[in-house]
């Protein structure tokens, strides 16, 4: 074993995070301020109510005023103020102060929350060098640009839905963060994106938004249950137009991008039109299902049969094109190439095919070659010597993960194992260790996810050495990410 391979097996002891002592002092100051402020408030409430009531209150009312109300004020009021009042009204300073006063917000999340709120308010994403990588920043990245939709956001949602045990996804991020992303998707009437995010969320508002997404997508949701959930959920003013819209008229599925109306009725049944429609969807980062591409490939097999090629030859003769066979082959090659491009970006299991002919074999061969190219392209940015921000590194890893998982779905375990040992294992492992060594605690959250995924992947292909070492690495990263 070389020195290089030894260095990538395990990560060193967790490096100290930047400004660790400073954060500790700030946390102590924060706890002291909480104590002073809330003790003063509690004392004033107790004194005022005690003098006013003069011993006339029952035990229950005393407990309500002396315990329940102050407890709500202390625990829930600051985050309510931040997310239900300050954030919707565009008061970032009040929101930041309220978050600072909330015991539900950890000190390390304050900066990330303010970044998320800024992005939600339409302000630009700050320079990534100054940011930690965590669930809040990931949500902000999903919200940025395409507002929670598109392949990038879908990838982030999927990664957040499959965080390893122990990786933090704060409760407030699950409720307030996911709500903002869902609202952005629903306002664009992107029901599928909203439904995807709802799986990650918690709370009454997320429940209402999930119901709106289901109703908008055409599911059978009664108006009564929608209005009931609306009445029970917070942010009623913001959600009223959405509820009214889905209750008042049946909604169409996801609206296509404005510049791309669906093909005309006459053309919609043609294989050519379906082909271009799927290319258009993929080019616009809209999810394309493997089943749809497989059905298209099957239709192409019929459309490129001998009779169709004979018609093409006849037309070639009319146009005085001498090499009609070559032209037919060129068209078939182009169709196969474009189908391979579509399959390599498609999602979902490949349906089992009953038949296997030259067309299938050639398509499978092209897809394999393309997948290899995709893996190489996704591995290229994972350079252990080039410093990249943890969030950027996370997104690059997500791109590689998406490529490899697609290959799992399309090609199966044997192909994934061959790819793992031949192309992926060493560069990915070296890069993940380098990422953690370079950034320490700032990359802890990302490193936990990456190491855990590498360990799972190693287990999937039977690489026990990599599995055990990366489980250890994940534990080391988790120690600084908590």
Partner 1 sequence: MTDQLENLLRAHVANPFFVLGLSPAAPAAEVERQAQRLLSELAAELADARRYRTPFGEYERTPELVRSAVAELRDPARRLRHEWWARGTTEPA
Binding site for partner 1 (CB under 8 A): 259-261, 263-264, 266-267, 269-273, 276-277, 279-280, 282-283, 285, 303, 312, 315-316, 319-321, 323-324, 327, 330-331, 338, 341-342, 344-345, 374, 377
Minimum CB separation of residue 411 from partner 1 in Å reads 17
Minimum CB separation of residue 273 from partner 1 in Å reads 5
**Secondary structure, 3-state, the chain:** CCHHHHHHHCCCCCCCCCCHHHHHHHHHHHHHHHHHHHHHHHHHHHHHHHHHHCCCCCHHHHHHHHHHHHHHHHHCHHHHHHHHHHCCCCCHHHHHHHHHHCCCCCHHHHHHHHHHHHHHCCCCCCCHHHCCCCHHHHHHHHHCCCCCCHHHHHHHHHHHHCCCCCCCCCHHHHHHHHHHHHHHHHHCCCHHHHHHHHCCCCCHHHHHHHHHHHHHCCCCCCHHHHHHHHHHCCCHHHHHHHHHHHHHCCCCCCCCCCCCCCCCHHHHCCHHHHHHHHHHHHHCCCCCEHHHHHHHHHHHHHHCCHHHHHHHHHHHHHCCCCCHHHHHHHHHHHHHHHHHHHHHHCECCCCCCCCCCHHHHHHHHHHHHHHHHHHHHHHCCCCCCCCCCHHHHHHHHHHHHHHHHHHHHHHCHHHHHHHHHHHHHHHHHHHHHHHHHHHHHHHHHHHHHHHHHHHHHHHHHCCHHHHHHHHHHHHHHHHHHC
Closest to 457 (Cα-Cα) out of 397, 370, 371, 387: 397
Phi-psi sector, 379: left (phi>0), alpha (psi -120 to 50), beta: alpha
User: Residue for token digits 């965080």?
Assistant: 163
Minimum CB separation of residue 272 from partner 1 in Å reads 3
Nearer to partner 1, 187 or 380 (CB): 380
Nearer to partner 1, 232 or 314 (CB): 314
Nearer to partner 1, 285 or 459 (CB): 285
Minimum CB separation of residue 259 from partner 1 in Å reads 5
Closest to 194 (Cα-Cα) out of 181, 207, 204, 203: 181
In angstroms, rounded to a whole number, what is the distance separating the alpha carbons of residues 16 and 440?
7
Nearer to partner 1, 266 or 414 (CB): 266
Minimum CB separation of residue 299 from partner 1 in Å reads 8
Nearer to partner 1, 406 or 457 (CB): 406
β-pair partners for 289: 347
Nearer to partner 1, 57 or 279 (CB): 279
Nearer to partner 1, 243 or 345 (CB): 345
β-pair partners for 427: none
User: Residue for token digits 């003063």?
Assistant: 40
Nearer to partner 1, 82 or 282 (CB): 282
User: Residue for token digits 């893996």?
Assistant: 375
Minimum CB separation of residue 249 from partner 1 in Å reads 25
Minimum CB separation of residue 270 from partner 1 in Å reads 5
Nearer to partner 1, 137 or 363 (CB): 363
Minimum CB separation of residue 295 from partner 1 in Å reads 13
Nearer to partner 1, 142 or 378 (CB): 378
Nearer to partner 1, 91 or 280 (CB): 280
Residue partners of 439: CB distance under 8 A and separation at least 6: 390
Minimum CB separation of residue 400 from partner 1 in Å reads 13
Nearer to partner 1, 260 or 411 (CB): 260
């Amino acid at each position: 074993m070389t020195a290089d391979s030894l260095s990538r097996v395990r990560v060193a002891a967790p490096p100290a995070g930047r400004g660790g002592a400073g954060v500790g002092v700030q946390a102590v100051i924060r706890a002291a301020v909480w104590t002073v402020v809330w003790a003063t408030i509690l004392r004033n409430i107790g004194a005022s109510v005690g003098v006013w009531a003069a011993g006339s209150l029952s035990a229950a009312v005393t407990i309500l005023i002396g315990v329940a109300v102050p407890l709500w004020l202390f625990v829930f009021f600051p985050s309510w103020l931040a997310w239900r009042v300050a954030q919707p009204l565009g008061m970032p300073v009040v929101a930041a102060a309220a978050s600072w006063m909330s015991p539900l917000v950890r000190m390390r999340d304050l900066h990330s929350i303010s970044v998320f709120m800024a992005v939600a308010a339409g302000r630009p994403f700050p320079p990534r060098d100054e940011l930690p990588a965590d669930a809040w920043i990931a949500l902000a990245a999903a919200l940025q640009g395409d507002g929670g939709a598109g392949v990038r956001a879908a990838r982030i949602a999927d990664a957040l839905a499959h965080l390893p045990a122990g990786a933090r996804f704060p409760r407030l991020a699950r409720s307030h963060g996911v709500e903002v992303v869902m609202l952005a998707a629903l306002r664009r009437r992107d029901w599928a994106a909203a439904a995807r995010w709802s799986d990650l969320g918690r709370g009454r508002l997320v429940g209402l938004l999930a119901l709106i997404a289901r109703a908008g997508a055409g599911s059978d949701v009664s108006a009564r249950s929608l209005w009931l959930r609306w009445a029970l959920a917070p942010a009623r003013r913001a959600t009223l137009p959405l509820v009214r819209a889905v209750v008042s008229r049946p909604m169409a599925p996801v609206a296509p991008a404005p510049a791309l109306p669906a093909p005309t009725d006459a053309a919609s049944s043609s294989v050519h039109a379906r082909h271009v429609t799927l290319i258009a969807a993929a080019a616009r980062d809209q999810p394309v299902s493997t089943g749809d591409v497989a059905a298209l490939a099957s239709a192409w097999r019929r459309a490129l049969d001998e009779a169709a090629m004979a018609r093409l030859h006849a037309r070639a003769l009319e146009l005085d094109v001498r090499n009609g066979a070559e032209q037919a082959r060129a068209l078939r090659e182009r169709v196969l190439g474009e189908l391979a491009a579509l399959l390599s970006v498609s999602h979902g299991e490949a349906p089992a095919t009953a038949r296997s002919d030259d067309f299938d074999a050639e398509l499978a061969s092209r897809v394999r070659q393309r997948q290899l190219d995709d893996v190489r392209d996704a591995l290229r940015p994972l350079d252990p010597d080039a410093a990249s921000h943890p969030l950027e590194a996370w997104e690059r890893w997500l791109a590689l993960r998406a490529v490899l998982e697609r290959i799992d779905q399309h090609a199966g375990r044997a192909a994934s194992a061959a790819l793992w040992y031949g192309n992926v294992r060493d560069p990915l492992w070296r890069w993940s260790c380098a990422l953690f060594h370079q950034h320490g605690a700032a990359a802890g959250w990302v490193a936990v996810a990456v190491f855990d995924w590498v360990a799972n992947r190693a287990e999937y292909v039977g690489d026990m050495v990599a599995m055990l070492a990366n489980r250890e690495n994940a534990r080391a990263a988790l120690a600084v990410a908590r």
